[in-house]
């Protein structure tokens, strides 16, 4: 039996029943349900819900608890999955930033049992594991491979950072730099790979698509 009695009460006391995780995984865990380890004795990757905007400090706290525990051999890495994105300052200066893929979640490599779960659970800021049917669900091999590739990219596999563009299709904007400065238009298409936005602008009474760098425009 994975969680029962007083331990079950402690388990549900902080976050309660949680639902809707990034990647489409859902949690539907009842305080009355019996949870058994899905992979007893096997180290797998799991997704852990934590307090939003505290992912890094909670990871550090959890790693410290693990190092001081007698169960440290049952844990592997703990990751805050991120990706590199390009942002531009108001002056048009380019900078590469780290963006969290799943804000409010950690990815933990561990063996699930009563001892390891309660070591995790007693860490301040930790909620619950994602899963279904009242059981923590291990990540799929393809999802693990994708996240690990981001965490440890191949030297030969050069990855081009995405450009984060703070506009959406249909949004009304004004051109603030370039040949069409001061004209207004509507966002038509967004090209994150190249950091460009296609805007529909009225020129001589005709709607004309114009491709601009996203830092050349501003929201109205």
CATH code of 101's domain: 3.30.70.940
Q: Residue 157: inside a domain, yes or no?
A: no
Q: Which of 72, 66, 146, 136 is nearest to 102 (CA)?
A: 146
Q: Which of 151, 174, 193 is the last residue of a domain?
A: 151
Mean pLDDT of 188-215: 86
Q: Residue 156: inside a domain, yes or no?
A: no
Scan for tokens 């440290």, then name that residue. Answer: 72
Q: Which of 106, 121, 151 is the last residue of a domain?
A: 151
Mean pLDDT of 191-218: 85
Mean pLDDT of 172-192: 88
Q: How many of the other CB atoms lie within 10 Å of CB of 201?
A: 18
Question: CB of 201 within 8 A of CB of 208?
Answer: yes
Mean pLDDT of all residues belonging to the chain: 77
Per the structure, the complete domain to which residue 112 belongs is given by: 5-151
**What's the total number of domains in the chain?**
2
The span from the CA of 134 to the CA of 193, in Å, is 40
14-18, 85-89, 207-211 — which is least confidently predicted?
14-18
- At 205, which helix (H) or strand (E)? none
Q: Is the pTM of this model over 0.75?
A: no
Q: Are residues 113 and 18 in the same domain?
A: yes
Question: CB of 12 within 8 A of CB of 20?
Answer: no
Question: CB of 185 within 8 A of CB of 202?
Answer: yes
Q: How many of the other CB atoms lie within 10 Å of CB of 53?
A: 10
pLDDT score, position 94: 72
Q: Residue 12: inside a domain, yes or no?
A: yes
Backbone conformation region of residue 183, classed left if phi is above 0, alpha if psi is from -120 to 50, else beta: beta
pLDDT score, position 213: 83
DSSP bridge partners of 129: 48
pLDDT score, position 73: 95
Q: Are residues 71 and 95 in the same domain?
A: yes
Q: Residue 158: inside a domain, yes or no?
A: no
Assign 40 a pLDDT band (cuts: 50, 70, 90).
low
């Amino acid at each position: 039996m994975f969680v029962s009695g007083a331990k079950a009460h402690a388990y549900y006391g902080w976050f309660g029943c949680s639902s809707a995780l990034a990647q489409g995984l859902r949690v539907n865990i009842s305080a009355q349900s019996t949870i058994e380890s899905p992979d007893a004795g096997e180290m797998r990757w799991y997704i852990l819900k934590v307090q939003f905007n505290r992912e890094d400090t909670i990871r550090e706290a959890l790693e410290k608890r693990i190092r001081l525990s007698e169960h440290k051999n049952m844990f592997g890495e703990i990751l805050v999955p991120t990706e590199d994105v390009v942002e531009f300052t108001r002056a048009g200066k380019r900078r590469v930033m780290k963006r969290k893929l799943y804000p409010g979640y950690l990815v933990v490599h561990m063996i699930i049992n009563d001892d390891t779960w309660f070591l995790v659970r007693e860490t301040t800021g930790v909620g619950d594991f994602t899963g279904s049917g009242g059981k923590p669900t291990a990540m799929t091999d393809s999802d693990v491979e994708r996240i690990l590739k981001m965490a440890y990219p191949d030297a030969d596999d050069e990855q081009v950072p995405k450009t984060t563009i703070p506009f959406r299709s249909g949004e009304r904007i004004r051109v603030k730099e370039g040949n069409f400065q001061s004209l207004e238009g509507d966002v038509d298409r967004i090209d994150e790979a190249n950091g460009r936005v296609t805007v529909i602008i009225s020129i001589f009474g005709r709607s004309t698509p114009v491709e601009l760098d996203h830092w050349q425009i501003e929201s109205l």
